[in-house]
Amino acid sequence: MPDRDGTSIEQLTEVAQLHARTGVYTRSLQIQLVLDAVGWTAREDLERLVLVEPSAGDGGFLVEAAKRLVESLSSKGGRPTRDILRDRIRAWEFFPDAASAARGKLIEVLTEAGLTRRDAQSVVEAWVNTSDFLESDLPPMSADVVVGNPPYLRWSLLPAGKRAAYEAILPADVVRGDLLLPFLEKGIDALKIGGRLGFIVSDRWQHAAYASRWRTRMLPQIDILERVELAPKDTFDQPVDAYVERLVVKRRAATPSGKTSSTSARLFDSSFDIRVGPALGCTPAYVLHPDELHAVEHELLRPWVDGKEVSEEGIAWKGRHIITLYDEEGRLRDLGQFPRAMGRLEAYRDRLEQRAITIRGAKPWWRPIDRLSPEPWSRRKLLIPELSKIPRVAMDTSGAIPSHGVYAVFSEDDKALDSLYAILRDGGLAKALQGNAPKVKGGYVRCYEAILRRLRL
């Protein structure tokens, strides 16, 4: 769930404060669609299934799940009882007031279904834990279904004590970037083989550089059944500024060797590093046309390409350059040493200061959203536009930095990169994507890292 406002929280130490930042709840329709997608419906036999909700809030998902559970039992000729119900749902909510609200709503559902108030309270106490899901002892492969709207918050904004606690118990490749990755990690880990996870999430997990290692490790363990872009105003109970999707995945069976059951080789295996071009937040401020290059110090400029310049024949570069505001070591430059670049950015100051990243406290006001350094883009790479009517790929050896709408594929092994290019060029990518990549409005094929990782020979 998105971080909803711009209040500074560098010293967050209280659970209530953390909840105030992440307590954005899901509208009823989206809850129903998630539960439908994972198969938690009254038509199914839910008597022996287990549903996990890692961030229950005030009970939105739980109430709908409990109603469907009761209806399923009744439709099969059974009667909801304390003993049948108590092991069907497990939920966590670390904010006591929200957990209490969720319990109250669930007790009403169960008493209306015929349980005594005492039995209903007993069941609900077993269902809802007032504690942190990420620190729980939930056994791996113990759930048939995992659903929810997990909290979204940048890792750096977590309270220091909470951050240290997570880093001590979670895999190293999830304790970075944002709070969503740990919830995805533990949620998938909780699934039985064939189990399904349905989350309302920010879409950054599938393209952000900080999630690259996690994607490499986890994507072979799951099948992505559904990724549906959502409008925030139709999804949440309050305004948020985020790119949101409904994500549904299924846990795969594994062979004894630990590989997935498919016998064909992956085109983009773990030896390839896939990154999306850096997000800027105001492209005209940072990207210069050929007749503007004199306006910025030459040492800050690098070639820049967008998806339209990537063709099967190569890179049809238009001569545009981008200002690199970080040095080769990834350190933000001192623009006091570059007066022409500062003058350029000052001309766009009003627009740059209105970006969400700046409103939320990012400094200085002229920095781009992502770390814009010449590295690693200077390396040899394949470029693939995210959206195209005819998917295409090109080899870049110029060190160009791609736009945020282009994916770059790197390898330490030049021969491996050449071999992959030989497979994908001349229509090979379009053929590989058939049946694997979604089409969006206008007939465009959407291609992102999660899809590339699934492609097989």
pLDDT single digits (tens) 374-397: 888 999 999 999 999 999 999 999
Whole-angstrom distance, CA of residue 251 vs CA of residue 147: 14
pLDDT at position 270 is: 79
- pLDDT-derived band at 13 (thresholds 50, 70, 90) equals very low
pLDDT at position 175 is: 87
Whether the pLDDT of residue 17 is over 90: the answer is no
Main-chain phi, psi angles of 448, to 5 degrees: -135, 180
* Closest C-alpha among 18, 55, 52, 54 to residue 38: 52
Min mean pLDDT across 174-178, 206-210, 353-357, 413-417 is at 206-210
pLDDT at position 454 is: 81
Mean pLDDT for all residues in the chain: 86
Report which listed range, 63-72, 207-216, 267-276, is most confident: 63-72
Q: Give tens-digit pLDDT for 435-445.
A: 788 877 788 88
* Closest C-alpha among 128, 152, 166 to residue 25: 152
- pLDDT-derived band at 373 (thresholds 50, 70, 90) equals confident
Q: What b/e sequence results for 343-358 when a residue is b if at least 16 CB atoms lie within 10 Å of its CB, and e otherwise? A: ebbeeeeeebeebebb
Mean pLDDT score, 363-372: 90
Report the alpha-carbon angle 371-150-435, nearest 5: 75
Whether the pLDDT of residue 259 is over 60: the answer is no
- pLDDT-derived band at 205 (thresholds 50, 70, 90) equals confident
Mean pLDDT score, 340-352: 96
Whether the pLDDT of residue 310 is over 90: the answer is yes
**Residue 38 near residue 248, CB atoms below 8 Å:** yes
Whole-angstrom distance, CA of residue 12 vs CA of residue 160: 8
Determine the distance from the C-alpha atom of residue 280 to the mean position of all C-alpha atoms in its chain, rounded to a whole number.
19
Whether the pLDDT of residue 72 is over 60: the answer is yes
More confidently predicted of 240 and 206:
206
pLDDT at position 12 is: 36
pLDDT at position 400 is: 96
pLDDT at position 239 is: 59
Cis peptide before 364 (omega within 30 of 0): yes
- pLDDT-derived band at 23 (thresholds 50, 70, 90) equals low
- Considering just the CA atoms, what is the radius of gyration of the chain in Å? 24
Whether the pLDDT of residue 208 is over 70: the answer is yes
pLDDT at position 9 is: 36
Whether the pLDDT of residue 1 is over 60: the answer is no
CATH 3.40.50.150 given to domain 15-251 = yes
Whether the pLDDT of residue 223 is over 70: the answer is yes
pLDDT at position 28 is: 82
- pLDDT-derived band at 159 (thresholds 50, 70, 90) equals confident
- Number of helices (H), then strands (E), in the chain: 17, 20
Mean pLDDT score, 327-339: 90
Question: Residue 386, CB half-sphere, CA atoms under 13 Å: how many?
Answer: 17
Q: Write down the pTM of the prediction.
A: 0.57
Mean pLDDT score, 11-32: 64
Mean pLDDT score, 185-192: 94
Report the alpha-carbon angle 168-206-393, nearest 5: 135
Mean pLDDT score, 267-288: 91
Whole-angstrom distance, CA of residue 320 vs CA of residue 305: 7
Domain ranges of the chain: 15-251, 272-454
pLDDT at position 3 is: 41
Q: Where are the beta strands (DSSP E) in 149-300?
A: 191-202, 222-230, 244-251, 272-276, 287-288
CB-count exposure of residue 400 (10 Å: 0-12, 13-18, 19+) = buried
